[in-house]
Amino acid sequence: MTAREWWALARPPTLPASVAPVAVGVAAGALAGRVSWPLTAVMLAVALLLQIGTNMANEYADFRRGVDQVDSVGIAGFLVTGHMTAALIRRWAAGTFLVALLLGMVLVAARGPLLLGLGALGAAAAGLYNAGRRPLSATPLGEAVVFLIMGPIEVMAAELAAVGRATPVGLLASLAVGCTVASILMANNLRDRVPDRERGRRTVAVLLGPRDAHRGLVALVGAGLVLPLLFGAASLLPITAGVPVLLLPWAWARLRTLARPDGLARGVLEAGRIHLWSGLLLALGLAAGAWVR
């Protein structure tokens, strides 16, 4: 496998989804203690590798179940075209997970068993998301699993890696992150609603239909942008954490385009941008609160 092929299998447009939770976790941790930047860098590497490994495993699993076809959107496409064997991608996924595990053990050695517990919980949820004849990704629980893994679990793990503790501030901030990252999957499933229905998948988008699924997508994004402001107004977060709400007009303009059939193809990209920028602004808002304090 060449580096270019590995990068395509990593699905680079999805990788910013792992940056926002780590940034928010580190910023929340800065309110409680001194940040270890070397361990933060390791945590970011682990988060990215876990997502890359999951993307590879998803490519493998969906091909084996017959979900991916030559015309499927958002996949690397090496399996459906016969360019690679399933065994090769399975080995690369396993190798990527192994490297993430080894780096994760460095964090556990430095920060303790709670980080190991969060990692095990995240790994179990990720396995259920992809594995088996009826993975959670094919059910209405897909968004909830992504919310949990890349919201509370990843934000709190980043806090632990950065400062050695998880805090209520990090947990509250992680709810906003979980909403926007779940919106990425909702946009993906909204785009793939028709082929998913034909292949027996029962995602939220399939069950709700295009109009209500789009409303659900808007609700997730809106919650992700407004929750930090509400928590700040209640003095549960620094008031500066409410800065993501400034993205509402821009996010609304982006989401309106997805209501049109010709806009669905850009759904994952648009939702990913909203997630990244809202997460970075939330992290900056939390960091500003730590600086003011």
Find the mean pLDDT for residues 212-226.
95
Residues 126/171, Cβ–Cβ less than 8 Å: no
- Whole-number Å distance between alpha carbons of 89 and 97: 12
Question: What's residue 104's pLDDT?
Answer: 92
Stronger pLDDT, 250 or 292, i.e. the higher one: 250
CA 151 to chain centre: 7
Residues 6 or more apart from 200 whose CB is under 8 A from it? 138
Find the mean pLDDT for residues 195-224.
91
Of all helices (H) and strands (E), which one includes residue 247? none
Q: What pLDDT digit, counting tens, does each position of 120-129 carry?
A: 888 888 777 7
Domain 16-288 indexed as CATH 3.30.40: no
pLDDT at 74 over 70: no
Q: What pLDDT digit, counting tens, does each position of 81-133 carry?
A: 767 788 888 888 889 889 999 999 999 999 988 898 888 888 888 777 777 67
Q: What pLDDT digit, counting tens, does each position of 32-69 carry?
A: 889 999 999 999 999 999 888 888 887 777 777 666 65
Residues 266/184, Cβ–Cβ less than 8 Å: no
Strand, coil or helix: what is 193? helix
Q: What pLDDT digit, counting tens, does each position of 142-192 carry?
A: 999 999 999 999 999 999 999 999 999 999 999 999 999 999 999 989 988
Token code pair at residue 161: 């890696």
The pTM of the full predicted model, rounded to 2 decimals, is 0.89
Q: How do the domains of the chain map onto residue ranges?
A: 16-288
Token code pair at residue 288: 């500003």
Average pLDDT, the chain: 87
Residues 6 or more apart from 117 whose CB is under 8 A from it? none
Token code pair at residue 135: 């993975």
Question: What's residue 87's pLDDT?
Answer: 83
- Whole-number Å distance between alpha carbons of 228 and 28: 12
